[in-house]
Structure 1
Amino acid sequence: MEIPIYTVDAFTNLPFKGNPAAVCLLENELSEELYQKIAAEMNLSETAFLTNLKPTEDFTSGARFGLRWFTPTHEINLCGHATLASAAVLFYKKGNINSVVAFETLSGELLVQQRGESLVMDFPLNKPELQDRRKFNDILKAAVGDLPIHEVCHCKTTKKLLVRLADTCDRSVLSSLSPVAESLLKSEDSGRVKSLIITVKGAPTSQPGYDFYSRNFAPWVGVPEDPVTGSAHTVLAAYWSEQLGKKKMLAYQCSNRGGELELELRGDKRLDIAGRAVVLLQGILKL
């Protein structure tokens, strides 16, 4: 069996920045074991598997595809950067003729379209709920130590815990954090948290005017730190939209690689996430 495979840096226009994902193009479904083995072999935060759903169409002519995402250890329900990477392969490498492509996923139908040099993803909006921070004392201590915390929210749908640091903390404070994956795992093993988002208010008056910054840690699914996380921004966008009174926002995830996301809320249930992508490598998996 030969499987076309690509690696794509998502949420960036520069190689070696943003969040890398592998994208496999499949004519037929694989076994569950093989999906996971390939993702473990690629050893990126996510490997996307894109399946052609109609025998009469191909990756150039088709407008609807199956899409699954795997970390090196788990299948996940939603991944933004690997969705962006999949669309980049279709539009940039396969020359897909459609203005919009649809992906059938565990999170329902996701649409992606080209807009200038960016790709725009139609994603669900996931609103977090304010929490009593005392319920999360252990994980907060492991994550941010004694830094001042403004508030803590949790999203049951995504199992993401959002920690907003006090406004006295700026981007440099967020960038300097280095929580230990093992400590995070030991501090929270109840299953209620699968991803930890730490965020601070941005500086929209200075160029390029980011509304907020974030970092994302997910050792619970085998990803110590995810460089740029589309799914986390389905929660962050809902939170910061209320805090800032804005529907359109520019966000920056300040991992070592870093990445930029353009966000626009559409009502109270959907979110457009726009970003750029660079296809860095293509080849064949021979199995």
Structure 2
Amino acid sequence: MLVSYSPIDPIRAYIGGDMLRVSPEQRANIEEYWGLNEPRVSQYLNWANSILHGDLGTSLLYRSPVAQVIAERFVASLALMAIAWLLSGIFGFILGIIAGMKKGTWIDRLIKGYCYVLSATPTFWLGLVVVIVFSVWLGWFPIGLGTPAGILEQDVSLTDYLRHLFLPALTLSIIGVANIALHTRTKLVETLNSEFIWFAKAKGEKGLKLLWRHGLRNISLPAISLQFASFGELFGGAVLTEQVFSYPGLGQAIVEAGLGGDVPLLLGIVLFSTIFVYVGNLMADILYKVIDPRIRKEWN
């Protein structure tokens, strides 16, 4: 509804050229072909009816089925989000454990300060800084795109893909570290102050052995919950990251769909992202059952 009432002209985006060359008759034919001449409620009902029959519609900008556009773009985004998701989870969990074990020390203060700064850092700004440092100043990585410009797809090597993927994945993973680290630290501090931990210390257990036997399972639950529940934030961060690096993924497609008034593609990606976030939450619930026997008993 917001897109339909916005000043964006989907016909202008569809033609992509000088609107003066298009006669009123041609414009009317284009509107009729795409169903844009119908009332907004009718357009929505037609789209919903197509969804019920498994048809996401056709993209105005790409002139292709929405399902095909999403499938092609998601392959690129999946590589980016998967790498960033793994790195942010691993490093966030490790930093949280270190900060919790070293509570009150300069190491703890350094990690907390680092995480607070990250939490307040916009993704697009960090992406610009990464580009300036590693691409412009040092020249280690390409500035953007998913593959080298001017090279056929079959001639692109795995090294080229990884070089173009590294900076977007680095940017997206750095932002995701903060929440995992801070929540893991808080949970570890609570666990270390519990009675069963004091009892284990009284028996002579300490350090990594104490953490491994009594603390790891307790602190892993909130970390897993946050990590899988962060699918929505991960997708939103990917939108900004892909724009900064001109990375041809699903995030860039949804921005183009919004700016071009491509409602079928926009709604298709929204539905897909909803399923994406739902799957993440479902996986978190399933892993809860595997890790925590108490929850497994409650479910049974």
TM over 0.5: no
Higher helix content, 1 or 2 = 2
Q: TM-score, normalised by structure 1?
A: 0.25
Higher strand content, 1 or 2 = 1
Which one has a bigger Cα radius of gyration?
Answer: 2
